[in-house]
Structure 1
């Protein structure tokens, strides 16, 4: 399946966009060094310009970004857990200094909306399925790998990645809760959650994954219900359910270090110091345009120092390169 993604760049009032079926795997590491390296990379022939009406399918797009040079704004999302996202936003706040960083809660549609495009430019799945497990229903012996948490009062139910987004199922979700595994203690931090108050016909949702214009589509799918969309704030669910979530900030230091190493894993092979290992053929660019950024060891060292921030153990780029090149 890959990791489908689109990246758009707006500059001087015009925009272009690029994409691939594997771009999403690396988008976090390619954006992390900041605007100049990212713009240099996506401006190369390694990333052909897509037609204005050609975009990934909305529901299968796993990452996207709009690098808006005119507004000095980065709008993006990637597939990542809560702690990793906190680390990413903190690091981007330094490497994209002077830019506004925004998370695309609606996924790819936030990018096309920001470009002023008609919604019809994206292929969109209808919310007409009433089965929470449309493709695979976990068996009773399968261990729950928590992805999202549903709460009704103080009772909690766990969903793994096989489940549909519960808010897309509509009120039919209520009759399926009894078949879900009850959660007595959180095994980890979920990536999203939904709190239901059937008596008050009220719901609340938070999510790191795209919600595909939930706030606009909820009333039709849940007639007579009201919605609060908490964006990434799991505290909304905690306040209404009484559940205590793990503190995702506790692992941010480790996550930022992993991000720094991930950036080096991606960018070091394209440095001039590794020139002897570059392929002789120029027909295909195995470095996806990264060489256009002109980053050598010293440049990467400055970037990683900024990315890690003050007070954290440094990563010495030259030493790290000896282990990975």
Structure 2
């Protein structure tokens, strides 16, 4: 399937597009050494003229030389601690540049070059192949596609097209990436771990409140969530934060949640905790853990070169001796000097 990536290079008032079928998953590891290495990596990719669909794009980076801006996103291994570590290191190795996360994914890069993000929006339905009449026939033709048997029972006739979004709401289990949803109603706050991507959770609209009400709530979650949503049913206000991307769902929130007001909290899980604790609690990302994971990933990804060995040593050493955030930044500065 590949891990497709786009790289956009802006220079001298114009921009060019590059494509890689494999660079999306570990995109941040190519950016870590700094602007020279990141730009060189982007320029090595295949020239392209058209942005791919956002559902196919695993990661992307805009290197804006004119404004000294790096705008990027990648899966970051679905690990909030790893992502935090990558952002902290990039903020130093790209000193003097604005290092920004693309909270709307590929759409943010498309907007940055003046194009219409609707052109890369993920399709929300797919045609059923000709001659396919039942869920069983579809499973035989497309075994990777899963249909909810509660919606499409075995033997039932399929429509001409099937919705591909939002994913069915499913309660998450400890150890898997989770969007932690908290619901405030009549002075009580309850928490629910949900497994689909955060944009799909939002896509279910206010009807999802009935789904959560049927689940057993959790007062705490043991791992750092990858995203969170706080729903205040009394005031009809909601906030969302994420360490991934929102796939252009928030502009559609007024239609999906009529009468509700939504706020984007970027990756500020602390804002979520402010609304839901102490009734519901969860840990934030760990910079030390993230640096250790990032160091191992960088070493495995890139074998060779003094710059590679240096940044790997930095990450491992910093993580092993880290006392606080300032110690991390001092260690990075010492190595660069």
Please say whether Structure 1 and Structure 2 have the same fold, judged by a TM-score greater than 0.5: yes
Q: 1:300 aligns with which of 308, 313, 321?
A: 308
Structure 2 gap ranges (5+): 126-161, 323-337
1: CA distance, partners of 2:34 / 2:201: 36
CA distance in structure 2 between the partners assigned to 1:302 and 1:197 by the alignment = 48
* d(CA) in 2 for partners of 1:129, 1:221: 15
The count of corresponding residues between Structure 1 and Structure 2 is 278
Deviations 1:56-94 (A, max 9, x none): 222342311101111111001111322111101111011
Mapped to 1, the partners of 2:292 and 2:176 lie a distance apart of 25
Structure 2 equivalent of residue 17 of structure 1: 17
The alpha-carbon distance between structure 1 residues 237 and 16, as it changes in their structure 2 partners (threshold 3 A), is: same
**Matched-pair contact (CA < 8 Å) for 2:24–2:58:** yes
Q: Deviations over 1:200-248 (max 9, x none)?
A: 1111111122113344221121111111211111122212222332142
| Residue in structure 2 matched with residue 246 of structure 1 by the alignment | 283
Residue 55 of structure 2: aligned partner: 59
Whole-angstrom CA distance in 2 between matches of 1:138 and 1:158: 6
CA distance in 1, matches of 2:251, 2:171: 31
**Residue deviations 1:173-223, cap 9 Å, x none?**
122213445323212011111111122111111112211334422112111
SS at match of 2:258: coil
In 1, distance between residues paired with 2:174 and 2:299?
Answer: 35
**Cα offset, 1:312, TM superposition:** 5.6
Q: Which residue of 2 aligns with 1:39?
A: 39
Structure 1, unmatched stretches of 5+, are 272-295, 315-325
Which range is displaced more, 4-13 or 120-129? 120-129
* Secondary structure of 1:182's aligned partner: coil
Q: What TM-score does the superposition give when structure 2 sets the normalisation length?
A: 0.73
Bigger shift: residues 183-192 or 121-130:
121-130
CA contact (8 A) 1:104 1:111 kept: yes
Tell me, yes or no, if structure 1 residue 150 matches structure 2 residue 181. yes
TM-score (norm 1): 0.75
Is 2:203 aligned against 1:168? yes
Moved more, 75-84 or 144-153: 144-153
Cα distance in 2 for partners of 1:114, 1:230 equals 20
Cα contact 2:7–2:60 (8 A) shared by 1? yes
Tell me the C-alpha RMSD between the 2 structures: 3.0
Q: Distance in 1 between matches of 2:275 and 2:71?
A: 30
Aligned position for 1:85: 83
Superposed CA deviations along residues 130-187 of structure 1, whole A, max 9, x for unmatched, are 98643x8579xx7673511111122111112478621111122122213445323212
Q: How does 1:166-205 map to 2 (within 5 A)?
A: 166-205=201-240
Query: Does structure 1 conserve the Cα–Cα contact (< 8 Å) formed by 2:82 and 2:293?
Result: no
Note the C-alpha offset of 1:119: 2.6
Query: Are the equivalent residues in 1 in contact too, given 2:289–2:319 (CA < 8 A)?
Result: no
On the 8 A contact 2:179/2:227 being kept in 1, the answer is yes
Q: 1:113 aligns with which of 88, 111, 114?
A: 111
Displacement of 1:10: 1.1
Larger deviation, residues 64-73 vs 303-312: 303-312
**1:86-128 deviations in Å (ceiling 9; x for gaps):** 1011110111111110010000000000011123431433499
| Whole-angstrom CA distance in 2 between matches of 1:165 and 1:107 | 15
Structure 1 residue aligned with 2:67, among 59, 66, 71? 71
Any conservation in 2 of the 1:95–1:303 contact (CA below 8 Å)? no
Instruction: Give the Cα–Cα distance (whole angstroms) in 2 for the partners of residues 26 and 176 of structure 1.
Output: 36
- Aligned partners of 2:165 and 2:52: how far apart in 1? 25
Distance verdict in 2 for CA 1:130–1:118, change over 3 Å:
closer
| Pair 1:98 & 2:73 matched | no
Cα distance change on mapping 1:145 and 1:313 into 2, 3 Å: closer
Q: Are residue 27 (structure 1) and residue 27 (structure 2) matched?
A: yes
Secondary structure class of the residue paired with 1:150? strand
